[in-house]
Amino acid sequence: MDGSAVTFHKQRGLVVSRGVAAMLALLFAGCMVATGLLVYKFASCTAREAATISAGGAGQDWPLAGSSHNQQLATHAAPSSSTPTPSPTSSTPTTAAPTKPPKMDVRLPRSIRPESYVIRIVPFIVEGNFTFHGEVEISVEVLEVTRSITLHANDLRVLEESVSVTRRDGSGGEVPVDRLGSDGPRQFLVLHLGAELLPGERYNVSMHYVGHLNDVLQGFYRSSYIAGNRTRWIAATQFQPTDARRAFPCFDEPALKATFQISIGRPTNMTSISNMPRNSEPEPVEGLPDYEWDHYGQSVPMSTYLVAFVVSDFGHLSAGANFSVWARQEALQQARYSLEIGPKILKYFEDYFEIKFPLPKIDMIALPDFAAGAMENWGLITYRETAMLYQQGVSTNNNKQSVATVVAHELAHQWFGNLVTPSWWTDLWLNEGFASYVEYLGVNAVEESWKILEQFVIFDLQNVFSLDALKSSHQISIEVEHPDEINEIFDRISYGKGASIIRMMDHFLTTDVFKKGTTNYLNSKAYQSSTQNDLWAALTAQAHRDGVLNETVTVKEIMDTWTLQTGFPVLTVSRDYETGGANLSQKRFILFDSEEEANGSDAASGQPPPLWWIPVTFTTLEQPDFEDTRPSLWLGAEPSVALPQLPASEDQWVVFNIQETGFYRVNYDERNWRLLIEHLMDRDRFEQVGVINRAQLLDDALNLARAGLLAYPVALDATRYLSAELEYLPWKAAFNAFGYVDGMLVKTGGYDKFKMYMLQLIQQLYEHTGFTDSPSDQQLTVYKRINVLNWACTLGYEDCVLNSKRQFQNWRSTPNPDKNNPISANLKSVVYCTALREGGQDEWDFAWQRYRHTNVGSEKDILLGALGCSRETWILSRYLDWSMTDNSGIRKQDAARVFAAVANNPIGQQLAYKFLRSKWDKIREYLGSSLFTINNIVRSSTRKINSDFELEDLMRFAKAHGHELSTATRAVEQAIEQARANVQWMRLNYRPITEWLAGVTAAPAS
């Protein structure tokens, strides 16, 4: 292109002056061209670069829309072949290993504040060019004296001659731009100016640039699908947390809100959508006869990470004028359920927050390739297909609930996250924790029969306990700097623990106070950014007004102990059965690997052990009340407190943490445990204990034993009553806890005893639920059946295995298996996995073909899981290899699903870990920096390591690749800690457990 260009890439910027370039060309002509190119590649970024955009051809700047030079744009867009040639600044991953970034200040200077953006962008996807050309004009206000403007750019090539800074005082005066600089590690683009900018002045900063539509699902990226034997291309965005800078130069921090006016140049046979409605009819793009501009209205003030646009040939369905769903034409009817519930949930949240949705419309779009589950972009929510599409008769009840939950989560974000945004990623949990809690309220409003509020305990609270029990867990509110660190905290701590402590707060403040305080917070901070302290202040004010909290206590004082400390407590109840009193004490619950950690101290740091404000609720056998969740007293960040009002009786049990609303475990003296076990073993009385608390008792007992705080025989005795239990929640909690024991024992000689005990335990539940799925079954009945069948078939229960094999064979015998599947949707996961586990290559190949041919995302997901159930090691090895191979049929977003499926197979676990260890470079190169995928692969592949040899091998792997783990660093640290805990668990517990199992299976309970 005519004029200079500066490239801003995460590795290095490239800048060489025209004179130097010409001199180099003369000096190193002929045989020295290669050397010249190396010098060019690694030149200093303080001079100018003379270069053309690799996607271009004629060597002209890309002009503004309407310019007389627009004919040149057609030349730049024309591809030389159907396969794109990555430019030197392409974001395509290379084999060079990234290093762990040093601690640095990556925050932008506060001298400049953006006020508005005008963005014009043209993606070239139809021709296979896979570049995009853009121009951005940013209106800024000067806050401090400065001679430079610093903003973000990553994997973009900025045309230096196009960069201008002009006054907005009406004079039109231009501030000279002396040069452009880049700071690669910080992803900064720096405009060095020839004059000082003074506080209060306003300027327009504009520039043209070119980027690459990458295939790593970050920034502005490309996706594709097959329709009519043709590949159809899509251009879509994913900017959270720090990838808006991959699509346009910007001030890419959440607090730096501005308005956005976006124009998309797209092929005439495609459509585009963005955050706001289109504000005019499409108009031609001069110089590109097959392209049109879509101009969108100016947005409300919002963060850069919420900007979104998609170019596709999708169809859409609408509910009224302001709510639409988009999907591939072949899958569009699968979006009807989302369209049905979306407006209802939106209306529920409008009423809940008492604030109208502030935008004129919402679009929801299901994308074939999407790294996360979904993204809450304001007014344009993007989803994986499995997170938004549901096909009656093909998708399962679980798929339907998942769709409803994700839709509710993203709609909740439109207020909590979008309207009010955390000032920095330290408080990411305010976004994700709040949405992860109120999503349950939203779903309950449209599907009340599902009893989803009860499900919270097993799907979020108990689920996140296992991660937060690790020493390598992290605070909810945690200081983060580098983008890798920001990416690391998009985990179960921010989501599940965040949701759990917000639920706890809802209960101890009362829902009325909680809702009023939240609404006051949203109104006071609308279109601004905030910190957790702003929320605490609003809730405290409301709690004091309504007399819920003592005037001397603040929400901040309580909640800081939960957000600024790592982990959670175990509340130990030591009763005095003669006086009726008890001592309540707390310490951090941790899966220990040293004596210090087992005792709850923090010897490594020299700090005293952490203490929490614990809302204490309890009930007794004498007056059982499992509904009242208001605290009876507080354990106020102190080691212990005396409780006088318990029954003075040796045959009266007590249960603490009603409905498990508090984010803590409870341990009792052995006498109280025995009283509870005795009560549960009474088939006529065990249901007097609330169903959520029965689930809590099982989960607490088995995990207290896992951490060495309760003898395993006591914990296992608590499970014996399950032979009479028919409710889903206790069984789900037990299955989750038993899953760990199963994973530890499955490769040992004592597994037969565990297997026998489990088959005895589930027999009545199996007979009660049966193998027949009925459309009239309640949601929890369906879930109960799926869980017991999964365990029965995995344990080799003959009736279950034969049923599964017969149903799968019936499907194989169907004339058109892709259109006619006789297997009930809810039973597919059990039937498919069992048939492939019991079968061979023929069964696997049949399932693989069904995976390739199905048009339903949820069916693909079930099949991906089942394909990992084979007992053929070569099939599993090939399956892992395909997950890292282009055009194999497995999308990059699904690679972690494949690893999880294989690693969950006792035969496949070591294969998955071996693949991770020996082909780490291939995984990194193929997936790039895809946070969710790589972290999930690390976790699933290492979860069941429980021998000294495997642990040492994992530590060698971590040491060898420590400098290149990047966003997977925390996941690997947690994997090592988990493996250490597993090794210690085997050493301490294998014999006591197998001895207990030998006794109970020899004389099963009646």
Report percent pLDDT > 70 for the chain. 87
Q: What is the pLDDT of residue 39?
A: 30
Question: Which own/partner contact pairs does 672-677 have at CB distance under 8 Å and 24+ positions apart?
Answer: 672/573, 672/575, 673/701, 673/710, 673/714, 673/718, 674/714, 675/621, 675/651, 676/718, 677/714, 677/717, 677/718, 677/720, 677/721
Q: What is the pLDDT of residue 960?
A: 86
- What burial letters (b/e) apply to 623-648, b meaning 16+ CB within 10 Å? eeebeebebeebbebeeebebeebbe
Phi and psi at residue 421, in whole multiples of 5°? -120, 140
Q: What is the pLDDT of residue 208?
A: 98
Whole-angstrom Cα distance, residue 185 to residue 94?
17
Q: What is the mean pLDDT of residues 328-343?
A: 97
- The fold of the 424-563 domain, in CATH, is Neutral Protease; domain 2 (1.10.390)
Whole-angstrom Cα distance, residue 18 to residue 47?
9
CATH of 54-86+109-313, one of 3.40.190.290, 3.30.70.520, 1.10.10.10, 2.60.40.1730: 2.60.40.1730
Going by pLDDT thresholds of 50, 70 and 90, the confidence category of residue 190 is: very high
Alpha carbon distances (Å) from 792 to 756, 762, 917: 11, 8, 33
Name the residue type at position 390.
Y
Q: What is the pLDDT of residue 877?
A: 97
Q: What is the mean pLDDT of residues 137-150?
A: 98
Q: What is the pLDDT of residue 90?
A: 33
Name the residue type at position 913.
Y
Going by pLDDT thresholds of 50, 70 and 90, the confidence category of residue 604 is: low
- CA 790, 792, 798, 803 torsion-angle sign: negative
Better-scored residue on pLDDT, 343 or 927: 343
Name the residue type at position 586.
Q
The answer on pLDDT for 73 being more than 80 is: no
- Range among 80-84, 170-174, 728-732, 891-895 with highest mean pLDDT value: 728-732
Pairing state between β 323-327 and 362-367 = parallel
Query: Is there a catalytic annotation at residue 410?
Result: yes
Q: What is the mean pLDDT of residues 935-953?
A: 91
pLDDT tens digits, 102-130: 577 899 999 999 999 999 999 999 766 89
What does pTM read for this prediction?
Answer: 0.87
Better-scored residue on pLDDT, 444 or 1004: 444
| Residue from 686, 771, 752 nearest 722 by CA | 686
Locus of tokens 């008492």: 354
Whole-angstrom Cα distance, residue 784 to residue 970?
34
Whole-angstrom Cα distance, residue 642 to residue 636?
12
- Angle between helix axes 498-509 and 555-563 (nearest 10 degrees) is 160
Q: What is the pLDDT of residue 321?
A: 87
Mean pLDDT of the chain: 88
Q: What is the mean pLDDT of residues 675-694?
A: 97
pLDDT tens digits, 797-843: 999 999 999 999 999 999 999 999 999 999 999 999 999 999 999 99
Q: Report which DSSP code applies to 61.
A: P
Do 923 and 935 form a contact (C-beta atoms < 8 A)? no
Structure tokens at 445: 């409003």
In sequence order, what are the residues at sequence separation of 6 or more whose Cβ sits closer than 8 angstroms to the Cβ of residue 536?
A: 554, 555, 556, 559, 560
Whole-angstrom Cα distance, residue 426 to residue 424?
5
Pairing state between β 665-668 and 569-576 = parallel
Pairing state between β 420-422 and 380-384 = unpaired
Domain 569-687, CATH:
2.60.40.1910
Whole-angstrom Cα distance, residue 394 to residue 281?
39
Q: What is the mean pLDDT of residues 995-1003?
A: 86
Count of CB atoms within 10 A of residue 495's CB?
23
Whole-angstrom Cα distance, residue 760 to residue 765?
10
Structure tokens at 494: 């921010």
Do 850 and 817 form a contact (C-beta atoms < 8 A)? yes
pLDDT tens digits, 342-390: 999 999 999 999 999 999 999 999 999 988 889 999 999 999 999 999 9
The answer on pLDDT for 485 being more than 90 is: no
Whole-angstrom Cα distance, residue 349 to residue 569?
33
Count of CB atoms within 10 A of residue 980's CB?
22
Going by pLDDT thresholds of 50, 70 and 90, the confidence category of residue 1006 is: very low
DSSP secondary structure letters along 922-955: HHHHHHTT-HHHHHHHHHHHHTT--SHHHHHHHH
- The domain limits of the chain are 54-86+109-313, 424-563, 569-687, 900-1006
Q: What share of the chain is helix, strand, coil (3-state, %, to 5)?
A: 45, 20, 35
Q: Decide whether 54-86+109-313 matches 569-687 in CATH topology.
A: yes
Q: What is the pLDDT of residue 931?
A: 58
The answer on pLDDT for 588 being more than 60 is: yes
Q: Secondary structure of 571-591 in the HEC alphabet?
A: EEEEEECCCCEEEEEEEECCC
Phi and psi at residue 80, in whole multiples of 5°? -85, -20
- Angle between helix axes 909-918 and 948-960 (nearest 10 degrees) is 30
The answer on pLDDT for 66 being more than 70 is: no
Q: Would you say how long the chain is, in residues?
A: 1006
Going by pLDDT thresholds of 50, 70 and 90, the confidence category of residue 925 is: confident
Name the residue type at position 23.
M
Q: Report which DSSP code applies to 244.
A: G
Going by pLDDT thresholds of 50, 70 and 90, the confidence category of residue 594 is: low
The answer on pLDDT for 762 being more than 70 is: yes
Going by pLDDT thresholds of 50, 70 and 90, the confidence category of residue 480 is: confident
pLDDT tens digits, 268-279: 999 999 999 999
Q: What is the pLDDT of residue 391?
A: 95
Q: What is the pLDDT of residue 921?
A: 87
Q: What is the pLDDT of residue 602?
A: 55
| Residue from 344, 329, 338 nearest 442 by CA | 344
Count of CB atoms within 10 A of residue 478's CB?
19
- Angle between helix axes 873-882 and 895-903 (nearest 10 degrees) is 160
Catalytic member of 410, 439, 725, 950: 410
Torsion of CA 188, 194, 197, 203, to 10 degrees: -70
